[in-house]
Amino acid sequence: MIKVITYSTIFILSITVSFAQIKSEEILITNDKIELPGTLTFSEENSPLIIWVHGSGPVDRNGNQPAQNVNANYIKQIRDAVNKKNIAFFSFDKRTANKKNWEFSKNINFSDFAKDLDAVISHFKNDKRFTEITLIGHSQGSLVAMLASNDIDKYISLAGAGETIDKTIVKQFGKNNPTLGEAAQQQFDTLKAKGRIETVNPFLMSVFAKQNQAFLYSWMQINPTEEIKKLAIPILIINGNKDLQVKIEDAKLLHAANPKSKLVIIENMNHVLKNIEKEEDNMASYFSADFPISEKLIETIIKFVRK
């Protein structure tokens, strides 16, 4: 487990309110100068608690990235669904989603996300209202949650990569453009050998820009299959067969690395966890909250958390 080396303070920003028997608390958790405001919802005490761990990008507590017009609202949909089954839920604005953190996040490495999560876990670990803690790590958050799972009760990998990030990105580029995939591999080889890339391929600037290189370097050092082997708690691995970003082969790699885990592949679920019947709706669902969350996903999560 990555230890928190910074001081964390927690402020309750508003009193508990109740609506339709769902109580809500706005909570600010800080990791040194990093502010992680979030929302806790629950219907009753002595219930299990889910803590959500975000995927890539400046994702807010509801699963949206306004600057990129990503408005899938998938985290909010999951929150509402599990609350109805008396499961508490906490999600927070990722450090990169909060403008107040930007000046302190210019030189972050991958472990900083795990330190943020450690601060969140430390707060709720002492909250006697909840019986146990389950981390759900989505996409990039799957690996973040692995690094912080020593002090929790259950772990769910949701659309998590089964290989290091360099292999994942090379495959993503190479799928549609083999030449670009080869170029990405060359860039990663340089980054691995030198720790930096002096000449960035202009077609890959969005990935290998100078400000991204230290973070990528730190990320590619961590192998998900090695990290999941270290976990001795109940593990659930979930992937959808309509996921355009993370394939079911990744879920199978994670499962093979820790055979005691449970593997569930969900039909018609995509990367933002929506039920997709028509292929043209797959990308459209990233930009609209109108698409329904996968009911099978909710059933699977509830069964695992309640077991």
CATH number at residue 21: 3.40.50.1820
What is the pLDDT averaged over residues 123-145?
Answer: 96
pLDDT given at position 103? 83
pLDDT level of residue 176 (50, 70, 90 thresholds): confident
Span 231-270, pLDDT tens digits: 999 999 999 999 999 999 999 999 999 999 999 999 999 9
**Are 209 and 92 contained in the same domain?**
no
Asked whether residue 72 is domain-assigned, the answer is yes
Counted domains in the chain: 2
pLDDT tens-digit series, residues 59-108: 999 999 988 889 999 999 999 999 999 999 999 999 999 989 988 777 89
Q: Is 21 left (phi over 0), alpha (psi -120 to 50) or beta?
A: left
Q: How many CB atoms lie within 10 A of CB 224?
A: 22
Instruction: Quote the mean pLDDT of the chain.
Output: 92
Q: State whether 117 and 243 are in the same domain.
A: yes
Residue 241: the pLDDT is 97
Output the pTM of the full model: 0.90
Q: Which of 32, 270, 77, 1 is closest to 158 using CA atoms?
A: 270
**Token pair for residue 58?**
């400046």
**Domain final residue pick, 199, 221, 243:** 221
Same domain, 190 and 74: no
Q: What is the mean pLDDT of residues 140-145?
A: 98
Per-residue pLDDT at 264: 98
Domain boundary among 175, 197, 221: 221
Would you state the structure tokens that stand for residue 193, as one six-digit string? Answer: 């050998």
Strand-pair partners of 232: none
